[in-house]
Amino acid sequence: MPNAAPLPGALVIMLAKSASRAVIRAALAATFCLLLSAAAQAALGDAASKLPGPLTGEQIVDRSVEVRGGLEAWRKIGTIIWAGHLESERSAVPKLPFELKEKRPGKSRFEITEPAHRSLRVFNGVGGWKMRMGEDGRPDVKPLTAQEVRFARSAPGLEGPLIDYRAKGSRVALEGTEDLDGRPNYRIGVTLLDGEHQTVWIDAQSFLESRFDRTAYGPTGPKGVVSVRYRDYKEIGGLALPSVLEISGAAAVKPDRMVIDRVALNPVIEDREFQGGGNTRDRSAAELGVASK
């Protein structure tokens, strides 16, 4: 007998010559089932072929870190300045210029520089303060609330939640796969040292981060999820960085867009940029509508 199984059509002819109609019907039914099974297996095979093979959560994260420039390259980054504009349906101004300064460990200064809508939020790794323009045109300066401090402490930092996660005391695990914008993604669960859970989606083809979800906090505790979509990666100084971030807090609201126009790696940022707390100097700078230096 030949090693290869006969084709379905040849099998029907063979049965017609040597079997009863009942046997033929049974064989045809079995053949039909085999064809359906083969089609189903082919479909599953096509879906599975989108993924590079079985990987653990740690392996996926390690590959993503390499694609983004490598662990050692990121460890050499001590400061970053992001500059661009914010687009939001909630703002009367189409494009609000912003500047985000980040410095290890965990310091950040986010400033919207449009004079009529100027706002500032500063975190020094332990606590911080915020400023916005009041209705009378004067700056309203307040310390960050306990929940805002908690949110700032669990922020992903200048490199994101996955890079050097082991040194941060975080754990990662593969939670599943799903499509985002028609592309297969790994869904990675990240458990921070304090127990908070965050989620990162990694594109299964490029291994770049495509989405990041984390808990938002209100005055009385958790109030929902903040979701960030990373788009249009560009290479800057050997690192892969997104140039567009879409930020949403509710499915029914159109996401805000942060468009990155310029990035500076390792610029000099003085620690005093993250100090204060609404002191006289910061108030004077706010009243003048210029950045505090």
Identify whether the C-beta of residue 292 lies closer than 8 Å to the C-beta of residue 110.
no
Task: Give the pTM.
Answer: 0.75
Reading phi first (left if > 0) and then psi (alpha if -120 to 50, else beta), residue 106 is in left
Residue 133: partners with Cβ closer than 8 Å, 6 or more residues away: 116, 117, 118, 119, 139, 140, 286
Reading the chain (293 residues) residue by residue, the pLDDT tens digits are: 433 333 333 323 233 333 444 433 444 344 333 333 444 344 334 434 455 568 999 999 999 999 999 999 999 999 999 999 999 887 778 889 999 999 999 999 999 987 677 899 999 999 999 998 887 778 889 999 988 998 898 898 899 999 999 999 999 999 999 999 999 999 999 999 999 999 999 999 999 999 999 988 766 666 789 999 999 999 999 999 999 999 997 555 789 999 999 999 999 999 999 987 644 444 444 433 333 33
pLDDT at 290: 36
Q: How many CB atoms lie within 10 A of CB 85?
A: 18
Q: ∠ CA(26), CA(27), CA(30), 5° rounding? A: 90
pLDDT of residue 182: 95
Taking the C-alpha atoms of residue 141 and residue 285, their distance in angstroms, rounded to an integer, is: 12
Q: What is the pLDDT of residue 260?
A: 97
- Length in residues, the chain: 293
- SS3 letters across 143-181: ECCHHHHHHHHCCCCCCCCCCCCCCCCCEEEEEEEEEEC
Q: Which two tokens stand for residue 170?
A: 């975080």
Q: Which domains does the chain have, with CATH numbers?
A: 8-48 (no CATH), 57-288 (2.50.20.10)
